[in-house]
Amino acid sequence: MDISAVNSLSCEDFVDIFGNIVEKCPLVAAALWSQRPFSTLEHMEVAAAEFIDSLPVPGKEGILRCHPDLASRGLHSGNLTPESTEEQREAGLASLELGEAERLRLLNLQYKRRFGFPFVICARLNDKATIERRLAERMANERARELQVAVDEVKKICGLRLQKLVATASRL
């Protein structure tokens, strides 16, 4: 799908295709549709990032709360979105040993208690060891700083999902 085809999609079709560029948050896709036409995929990525950045703090927190805990039971039970399942598997989170899984579960729980939203990291750009290390390191952040770091990770995920969707659609 080239950018002119993206620009010609109805709102319903656009949201059907791009509705999970931000985890379980089709509102971002709907807002993005209203910003058409896009000159390039990069223009579309920038528009999505700018929309996310423009949200008030409760909106940003809401986007973060739509994300699952990394390496949660949902990964093995099929309760995650296909995108999250694939991303976590690629990072090695589906094949954790028992001790690794328990450490991540406890760190996720501590993180969520501290910040009020799940730990978000772009799993496609990290492996399980880096994810665990970054989770522990980010616990030391002040809340406002961590909110920004987590939102920046959402924007990375969003950009990669957009790239994958447009590349996949262009092969159809």
Mean per-residue pLDDT of the chain: 94
Q: 33 vs 44, 45, 52, 59, 87, CA distance in Å?
A: 9, 12, 14, 19, 25
Domains and CATH numbers, the chain: 3-56 (no CATH), 63-158 (1.10.3330.10)
Active site residues: 67
pLDDT for 13-58, tens place per residue? Answer: 999 999 999 999 999 999 999 999 999 999 999 999 999 999 999 9
pTM, entire model: 0.94
State how far Cα 133 lies from the chain centre. 19
Q: 100 vs 21, 48, 80, 96, 104, CA distance in Å?
A: 28, 34, 20, 6, 6
User: In sequence order, what are the residues at sequence separation of 6 or more whose Cβ sits closer than 8 angstroms to the Cβ of residue 5?
Assistant: 169
Helix axes 26-33, 41-54, angle to 10 degrees: 120
pLDDT band at 149, cuts 50/70/90?
very high
| pLDDT at site 169 | 52
| pLDDT at site 136 | 95
